[in-house]
């Protein structure tokens, strides 16, 4: 599998893309502290993003990604209903907000229905679809998120982001409440953290009630 710099159009906003690789640190909040969710800091230990989950919003299967100032930049919901129950996939939908507060569909993550799906790979489609894309998906998640060892890979096989334990935490054999996400140059960090938020919810972690 290839790795390296990947050129792409920002998915949420160019404000969240960097010309160099960025390492973000995720710190989970216990449910007893501000309703759970997690906080993301940058190399300067300043808050870059915050994710609010069910404990704060009071709505199951709904997440909100906020920027460093607390403004909502991404709304994530799981699409439900009888049709989905009979489908091989469960769908998570990500909507960005424009300056007027209107919602715009930016990506769809397909979570395999374990009862029906043969392939357990999580795949993500973005909107609008890249012109050069020949696949029905644009990114996929490989590895094991609960073990903090996974990556987001684009349709060409490039690793665009990796989740891993912080070395100091790993050495002390502490819990997985603190881990790091390495985002490659040119990749939308808000999009990556939005995907991480879905993984957190799927695996019954800090964003769930």
Query: Is residue 7 in some structural domain?
Result: no
Compute the average pLDDT of residues 74-99: 80
User: Which among 178, 150, 182 has a CA at the least distance from the CA of 23?
Assistant: 182
Query: Is residue 36 in some structural domain?
Result: yes
What are the tens digits of pLDDT across the range 166-185?
665 455 445 678 999 999 99
What are the tens digits of pLDDT across the range 143-166?
999 999 999 999 999 999 999 986
pLDDT on residue 174 = 58
Check pLDDT > 70 for residue 116.
no
Check pLDDT > 60 for residue 84.
no
pLDDT on residue 3 = 44
pLDDT on residue 83 = 53
CATH of the domain at 139: 2.40.160.200
Query: Is residue 8 in some structural domain?
Result: no
The β-bridge relationship of strands 122-126 and 178-183 is unpaired
Query: Is residue 1 in some structural domain?
Result: no
Question: Domain span at residue 193?
Answer: 14-202
Query: pLDDT tier at 5 (50, 70, 90 boundaries)?
Result: very low
Compute the average pLDDT of residues 27-40: 84
Question: Which tokens belong to 99?
Answer: 């300056």
pLDDT on residue 27 = 94
Query: Is residue 209 in some structural domain?
Result: no
Query: Is residue 207 in some structural domain?
Result: no
Query: Is residue 9 in some structural domain?
Result: no
Query: Is residue 6 in some structural domain?
Result: no
Number of domains in the chain: 1
Regarding predicted confidence, which is higher, 171 or 100?
A: 100
């Amino acid at each position: 599998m290839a790795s390296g710099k990947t050129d792409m159009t920002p998915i949420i906003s160019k404000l969240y893309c960097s010309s160099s690789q960025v390492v973000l640190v995720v710190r989970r909040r216990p449910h007893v502290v501000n309703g759970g969710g997690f906080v993301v800091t940058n190399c300067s230990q300043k808050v870059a993003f915050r994710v609010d989950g069910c404990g704060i919003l009071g709505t199951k299967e709904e997440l909100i990604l906020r920027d460093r100032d607390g403004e909502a930049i991404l709304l994530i919901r799981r699409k439900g209903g009888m049709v989905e129950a009979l489908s091989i996939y469960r769908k998570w939908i990500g909507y960005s907000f424009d300056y007027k507060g209107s919602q715009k569909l930016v990506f769809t993550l397909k979570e395999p229905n374990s009862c029906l799906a043969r392939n357990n790979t999580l795949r993500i489609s973005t909107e609008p679809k890249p012109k050069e894309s020949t696949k029905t998906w644009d990114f996929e998640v490989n590895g094991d998120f609960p073990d903090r060892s996974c990556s987001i890979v684009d349709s060409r096989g490039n690793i665009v982001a990796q989740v891993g334990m912080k070395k100091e935490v790993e050495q002390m054999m502490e819990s997985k409440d603190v881990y790091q996400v390495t985002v490659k140059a040119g990749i939308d960090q808000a999009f990556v953290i939005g995907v991480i938020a879905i993984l957190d919810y799927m695996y019954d972690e800090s964003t769930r009630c």
